[in-house]
Chain A
Amino acid sequence: MMLGDTIFDVYWFQTVIKVLVVALLIPTTALILGIVFLFKVMSWMQSRLGPQEAGPKGLLQLLADGAKFLQKEDLTPMSADVRVFRMAPIVVLMSTFLLFVIIPASPNLVVENLPNGVFFAFAVSSLSVIGVLMAGWASANKYALLGGIRAAGQLIAYELPMVLAVVGVVIQAGTLSMNGIVVAQAGFHIGPIPVPYIVTQFPMFLVFLAATQAELTQAPFDMPVAESELVAGYQVEYSGFRFLFFFMAEFATAFAFAAIAATLFLGGYYVPGLDINSGIYWVLGPIVLFTKIMLVSFLIFWFRFTYPRFREDQLQRFAWKWLIPISLVWISVTALFKVWVA
């Protein structure tokens, strides 16, 4: 008993557990489930045959894709900056996985309940820009360079609406902690009905989704990877498992942002009517959160498969002329209400 208590309290042991959770558990369970779900969504929306036909009910398409990438040769262009080239996908993937650190799956089931979790999320998500720029430059390819620079311009431009979109929620909840925001939402009522923040922050939710789409470099904001223009932008020289890293990072980031949106706007793991301190959240929390994540990522992928691509200048105009003014107005409204109610 003494031993057990000790080892679970030791800092390094907790760290190991947490690293395992971040690096193994999340990719293996959530990603696989999610990607299979999204593959199915994609195949129905686009009438693609692979995810409908490969294996029983088309479930093996993911396996086939993964095996395909692993079989391929790991090529490095002759004129590439080899070390930077090899490091870039890892930087991107790392930025993605760090995002999962602060997402609470139940009141206590969280890797690290940072008091300024929202701040942390945006800090680490901007790290991916560095990875993308590294990939774009180190490939020594003009398409990759154009893609990398487009990505940098786009990711930085869309940080702002994204942060502003969250400010409303933060003002309403009065905390930067992700768990704190869920708890605050659990106690939020309009009249007698408990509602998540999406009801009061609906414009912000839309702004957040649009900004997420841009952060993910997905259609309609996929200029950095635009297949038909820049072939695949900064990913053009990557093959094999390094490309798989980018591919995983794309889906995993979609997940992470969907999780953040689910937590901030949809109440995270909380189910209205159930006491927030109830022990059932150890089991129910992750399931509820996963469902909400799927809901949001379904939206994200729905947009992705419906819209054509913006042009770079149109993208900037959209950010500056629409998203940022809308979020600024809504921040003011939220702040006024907060002061007025208080």
Chain B
Amino acid sequence: MAAPTVPESKQLQYISQQAADSRVNVEFETEDGMTLNIGPQHPATHGTLRIITRLDGEQVISCEPVPGYMHRGYEKLTEVRTYPQVTTLINRIDWLGSFANEVPFILAAEKLMEIEAPPRARYIRTILFELSRMANIVLFLGDLGAQLGGVTAVFYAFRDREFVLNQIEAVTGGRFHPNFDRIGGLKDDLPKGWIAETKKCMTRVHDFCDELEDLLIGNEIFQARTRGIGVIPANVGLSYGLSGANIRGSGVDWDIRRDHCPPGLVYDKADWKVCTHPDGDSFSRSWVRLQEVRESAKIVDQLLDSVPSGPVMAKVPRIIKVPEGEAYVATENPLGQMGYYVISKGDLVPFRVKIRSASFNNVSIVPWVTRGVFVPDVITILASLYFILGDIDR
């Protein structure tokens, strides 16, 4: 005997009824609060980070980030690529400041090979490093506005970042993924007239900072939204491995560029200062980043005046075999400390590369810092901690 047939419309109705019941009645009214999935598709997550929050009303009871939607397995992939090929991959880690990703890896390889880039290459490397920092943090400042509801800032940021990207593109040929740094130097020299253009660009960056300070950082509502929100004490931040502006926003006066800059970058040739802020809240982190862009523009401005002449590439063998050894090189990247722990067995390819990316540590503090805040503050905290998803997931 045939089973009684149920029309499809009935089935759909039943399913939708079940779904509605389970979602509206059960999850909204569980005893330990409502579960709200922020992400993986959400404007505040800069990609595909998922944050599971348990809410009581709008107050956060607990909050657990779930990364991994973009995990590309770079640590495994680097084991099957020659050293020059690795830079192509690691460009994609923090995609807003790509050139800065290449530098620490190249420096680690140079350290193992015991070669040094010529002075001109070191200067240009530092300049490009700072340009990518500007391109990155300018967008952060705009995005911070967008996360807090002031959409205007993001348009200004995209407009003015383009000037910086143009300069990077003029040298490297790539706006986002330059793949320009080489073991022993750089791929090419600067194009003609670039230094003067970049100097003009730096005044635009200064103008942007002033504009944004008026529009956003100095705004009363912005300050009301960020001051005292997401306070991270220095010792907690350090034990979570927070770095860069996040930890300087907590009053720790530590900058790799100034304190123990790896050879191969020439930050000691410029006169600049490290900005810190004692409060440790979202405002101080944002403020420190804004000052960093200014300092960064100052560094570039000074280095442009004193770029030495000479070759941009040291004498390196055509086939790069890195001698046996281990090296860890970290630099002060736009998002914080980024380091590569390279283990070589004397082969064409690295034996093991541990990528220490800044956002991974920066975001791991989110469960600690979001306890008891409101949903809008979660967004503020995420925006002010500033992560790039590629930098978490690698």
Residues of A within 8 A of B (CB): 45-48, 78-81, 140, 142-143, 145-146, 219-220, 222-223, 226-231, 305-314
Establish whether residues B150 and A314, one from each chain, have CB atoms under 8 Å apart when the complex forms. Answer: no
Q: Is the interface of A mostly helix, strand, loop or mixed?
A: loop
A143 to B36, CA, bound (A): 8
Residues of B within 8 A of A309 (CB): 148-150, 221, 225, 376
Given A142-B36, A308-B219, A309-B221, residue A229 in contact with residue B23 (CB < 8 A): no
Q: Which residue of B lies closest to A43 (CB)?
A: B155
Q: Sample 26 A-B pairs with CB under 8 A, ordered by A number.
A: A46-B151, A47-B156, A78-B20, A79-B16, A79-B20, A142-B27, A142-B28, A145-B28, A146-B36, A223-B376, A227-B146, A228-B43, A228-B44, A228-B149, A228-B379, A307-B221, A308-B145, A308-B150, A308-B216, A308-B219, A308-B225, A309-B376, A310-B224, A311-B224, A314-B224, A314-B225
Known: A227-B146, A307-B221. 10 other contacts (CB 8 A): A48-B155, A78-B12, A80-B20, A228-B43, A229-B376, A305-B152, A306-B150, A308-B149, A311-B224, A313-B374
A310 to B155, CA, bound (A): 20
The smallest beta-carbon distance between B14 and chain A, in angstroms, is 11
A64 to B27, CA, bound (A): 40
Residues of A within 8 A of B42 (CB): 231
B215 at the binding interface (Cβ < 8 Å): yes
Establish whether residues A142 and B34, one from each chain, have CB atoms under 8 Å apart when the complex forms. Answer: yes
A145 to B383, CA, bound (A): 24
Given A229-B44, A310-B225, residue A219 in contact with residue B150 (CB < 8 A): yes
Task: Report the 10 A-B pairs with minimum CB-CB distance, sorted nearest first.
Answer: A309-B149, A79-B20, A308-B150, A308-B148, A79-B19, A78-B16, A228-B147, A46-B155, A308-B149, A46-B152
Residues of B within 8 A of A (CB): 12, 15-16, 19-20, 23-24, 27-28, 34, 36, 42-44, 58, 145-152, 155-156, 159, 215-216, 219, 221-222, 224-225, 374-379, 383
Given A223-B376, A226-B149, A226-B376, residue A307 in contact with residue B219 (CB < 8 A): yes
Residues of B within 8 A of A305 (CB): 151-152
Establish whether residues B376 and A312, one from each chain, have CB atoms under 8 Å apart when the complex forms. Answer: yes
| Of A143, A220, A305, most B-chain CB atoms within 10 Å | A220
Given A79-B23, A231-B43, residue A311 in contact with residue B150 (CB < 8 A): no
A231 to B219, CA, bound (A): 24
Residues of A within 8 A of B215 (CB): 306
| Of A306, A311, A313, most B-chain CB atoms within 10 Å | A311
Residues of B within 8 A of A140 (CB): 19-20, 23-24
A230 to B147, CA, bound (A): 11
Residues of B within 8 A of A79 (CB): 16, 19-20, 23-24
A307 to B19, CA, bound (A): 39
Given A145-B28, A228-B43, residue A45 in contact with residue B152 (CB < 8 A): yes
A230 to B15, CA, bound (A): 26
Give the contacting residue for B151; candidates A142, A145, A219; CB below 8 A: A219
Residues of A within 8 A of B146 (CB): 227-228
Residues of A within 8 A of B148 (CB): 228, 308-309
A227 to B19, CA, bound (A): 26
Residues of A within 8 A of B221 (CB): 220, 307-310, 314
Establish whether residues B375 and A146, one from each chain, have CB atoms under 8 Å apart when the complex forms. Answer: yes
The smallest beta-carbon distance between B44 and chain A, in angstroms, is 5
A311 to B148, CA, bound (A): 9
Residues of A within 8 A of B374 (CB): 311-313
Give the contacting residue for B376; candidates A46, A145, A219, A311; CB below 8 A: A311
Residues of B within 8 A of A306 (CB): 150, 152, 215
Q: Which residue of B lies closest to A222 (CB)?
A: B149
Q: Which residue of B lies closest to A80 (CB)?
A: B20
Establish whether residues B155 and A47, one from each chain, have CB atoms under 8 Å apart when the complex forms. Answer: yes
Residues of B within 8 A of A80 (CB): 20
Q: Which residue of A lies closest to B43 (CB)?
A: A228
The smallest beta-carbon distance between A214 and chain B, in angstroms, is 13
Q: Which residue of A lies closest to B41 (CB)?
A: A231
| Of A140, A228, A310, most B-chain CB atoms within 10 Å | A228
Residues of B within 8 A of A226 (CB): 149, 376
The smallest beta-carbon distance between B227 and chain A, in angstroms, is 12
A82 to B96, CA, bound (A): 43
Q: Which residue of A lies closest to B377 (CB)?
A: A311
A211 to B221, CA, bound (A): 16
Establish whether residues A146 and B58, one from each chain, have CB atoms under 8 Å apart when the complex forms. Answer: yes
Residues of B within 8 A of A313 (CB): 374
Establish whether residues B225 and A311, one from each chain, have CB atoms under 8 Å apart when the complex forms. Answer: yes
The smallest beta-carbon distance between A308 and chain B, in angstroms, is 4
A286 to B152, CA, bound (A): 33
Q: Which residue of B lies closest to A221 (CB)?
A: B149
Residues of B within 8 A of A222 (CB): 149
Residues of A within 8 A of B376 (CB): 223, 226, 229, 309, 311-312
| Of B23, B148, B216, B225, most A-chain CB atoms within 10 Å | B148
